[in-house]
Amino acid sequence: MINIEKLTFFLGGHDLEMLTIREILEEHAPGRFFDKGLSWGAKASDYRKEIQEVLANGRVPVLVELTLDMEIDEGLTIIIDHHGERAGSDNPTSLHQIFDLLNLPQDKWTRWFDLVAANDRGYIPAMLETGATQEEIIKVRAADRAAQGITAEEEAEGEKAAANAEVFADGMLTLVCLPHTRTATVADRLEASLGGPGYKNLLIISPTQVNFFGAGKLIYVLDEAFPGGWYGGALPERGFWGHGNPVPDVMPLLMDKLCSLTTRNINGK
């Protein structure tokens, strides 16, 4: 049995789910969490000193979506995440994991939590599966972009990039070149349920990152071909994959796989 009073939480990169987790901790574990307002890609070493102090005091660090990049006894630590091998439509989101870890009663779980968790697990399609209305989806996506700290300038650049999207492989792949890494500014605008043209698979190329959103089979192919990136979502059906510096040229691989699929469909095989 875990002694909840001995837990100290360390929060990872900000998005809507992470800020929702923070709100839960403010209510149910006040004074027992650290939040440095980090961005995606946050690491345990960002809290190195604080984690070491917590361990020295006999407490249990709970690392929430933090890449484990420092020597630490995992037997003395709790890892909360929903990326990489922990991703998947059947696995609990980080929000669910925190809720359960704190042993909160089910009547504390709200409709908003449902939407936030669905958004994190599988983006808009997952929210639609929960019966989300367009109004709810718009509210969640706007809150998520705000939580990520996306600026008005980045939104404008995303809108321009989305308007210049190119389509390849008989409509199977949409390509967008974006001058920053705030991919939500493009994906949200292309989303059919929000009035956009829609897409089957989306590749967003930025100066320091490449990000893919689409079929789970393609995500696994990308992860195998270009190790060292990140992935998650409602796998194995759909999800996301990304990679930073050096930014790999993934277009030839995706085109090869997608054109092969298109050819098989044409031939009826």
Shared domain for 111 and 176, answered yes or no, is no
For residues 142 and 137, give the distance between their C-alpha atoms in angstroms, rounded to a whole number. 8
pLDDT exceeds 50 at position 84: yes
- Give one DSSP letter per residue of 106-129, joined into a string: GGG--HHHHHHHHHHHHHHHHHHH
Shared domain for 159 and 82, answered yes or no, is no
Token pair 């367009």: residue: 134
Q: Please give the structure tokens belonging to residue 78.
A: 């709790």
The domain that holds 244 is classified in CATH as 3.10.310
Shared domain for 13 and 87, answered yes or no, is yes
Q: Tens of pLDDT along 111-156?
A: 999 999 999 999 999 999 999 999 999 999 999 999 999 999 999 9
Shared domain for 108 and 165, answered yes or no, is no
The domain that holds 71 is classified in CATH as 3.40.50
Which pLDDT score is estimated for 263? Answer: 53
pTM of the model: 0.89
Give the chain's mean pLDDT.
Answer: 94
Shared domain for 178 and 82, answered yes or no, is no
Which pLDDT score is estimated for 265? Answer: 54
How many separate domains does the chain show? 2
Shared domain for 109 and 220, answered yes or no, is no
Shared domain for 261 and 169, answered yes or no, is yes
147 within some domain: no
Distance of CA 60 to the CA centre of its chain: 25
Containing domain of residue 205, as a range?
152-266
Shared domain for 160 and 240, answered yes or no, is yes
Q: Which helix (H) or strand (E) holds 64?
A: strand 60-64
